[in-house]
Amino acid sequence: MRFARDEGGATAVEFAMMLPIFLTLIFGIVVFGSYFAMIHGVQQLAAEAARTSVAGLSDTERNSLAQSYVTSSVTDYPLLDATKVNVVAAPSISDPNVYVVTVSYDASSSFIFTLPFVPVLSPSISRSAVIPYGGF
């Protein structure tokens, strides 16, 4: 009778039931947070490279400024590998009054794609920033 009323192990059983759910939540936060940090880094590089390119007087100079900005700044983003970043800077095809900087990143070798049970995420991240000629 006394054994049936003993609740000493209830906490351990509840903990054992909730631990997998808690760990799954934490694991998901880390994985998706890392992926979103890579996306944000690529977007920031594109936006800042576009702003930097405004200082160029010709399209060749603008392209050079955008390339050099990304090359020098990609190390500020710890989740991005500088060897996997590609920059394309050129005038817009649809609007001759704007300049487009596109930064692409191949995240296929990132640690989050080596983890088990990670949902399928796109390993190719590409973001663009558009800036009008004259900078305004």
What percent of the chain has pLDDT above 70? Answer: 92
pLDDT category of residue 121 using cuts at 50, 70 and 90: confident
* Cα gap 9→116, rounded to integer Å: 32
With beta carbons less than 8 A apart as the criterion, state whether 112 and 34 touch: yes
- For a pLDDT cut of 90, what percent of the chain falls above it? 57
| Mean predicted confidence (pLDDT) in 33-44 | 94
Both tokens of 103, joined, read 């930064």
3 pLDDT higher than 70: no
Enter the tokens of residue 91: 């005038």
Split at pLDDT 50, 70, 90, the class of 4 is low
In angstroms and rounded to an integer, the radius of gyration of the C-alpha atoms of the chain is 24
Judge contact between 103 and 124, C-beta under 8 A.
no
Residue 108, burial from CB neighbour count under 10 angstroms (0-12, 13-18, 19+): exposed
Contact yes or no for 101/18 (Cβ under 8 A): no
The residue ranking higher by pLDDT, 18 or 136, is 18
Q: In Å, what is the CA distance from 42 to each residue of 28, 39, 88, 111?
A: 21, 5, 13, 17
Are the C-beta atoms of 63 and 90 separated by less than 8 Å? yes
